[in-house]
Amino acid sequence: KAGVTQTPRYLIKTRGQQVTLSCSPISGHRSVSWYQQTPGQGLQFLFEYFSETQRNKGNFPGRFSGRQFSNSRSEMNVSTLELGDSALYLCASSRDLGTAYNEQFFGPGTRLTVL
């Protein structure tokens, strides 16, 4: 069974631009969560999508948004990029809603660098 895939793997953008990251979950998984990993803050939860609806949201500004399609694939968008948005963005999929009692499988991440 194919794992979680994320594209692109690496991305370089400049301040003020916007970016879209893509995540394809494991076949049969209906939940997709996004996390940001930085050296200072560690891994932080961004949001979770299930059945094309955002179900949970972390403490991030509105510049961070996402969506989920009917095939469970998800995209994450960051608008008006800031230097502090440079991070590894990880996507995780699970069979059902919620991170408790549902094993989450992580993709390899997209490394975003903002110049």
Partner 1 sequence: DQQVKQNSPSLSVQEGRISILNCDYTNSMFDYFLWYKKYPAEGPTFLISISSIKDKNEDGRFTVFLNKSAKHLSLHIVPSQPGDSAVYFCAASAYYSGGGADGLTFGKGTHLIIQP
**Binding residues for partner 1 (CB under 8 A):** 4, 33, 35, 42-48, 55-56, 58, 90, 92, 97-101, 103-109
Q: Compare residues 85 and 89 and give the one whose CB is closer to partner 1.
A: 89
- To partner 1, the closest distance from the beta carbon of 15 in angstroms equals 26
Q: Compare residues 9 and 15 and give the one whose CB is closer to partner 1.
A: 9
Residues 35 and 76: their CA atoms lie apart, in Å, by 10
- To partner 1, the closest distance from the beta carbon of 57 in angstroms equals 8
Q: Compare residues 41 and 80 and give the one whose CB is closer to partner 1.
A: 41
- To partner 1, the closest distance from the beta carbon of 80 in angstroms equals 23
Residues 65 and 62: their CA atoms lie apart, in Å, by 7
If DSSP codes are grouped into helix, strand and coil, which group holds residue 83? helix
CA–CA distances in Å: residue 70 to residues 14, 48, 53: 32, 15, 10
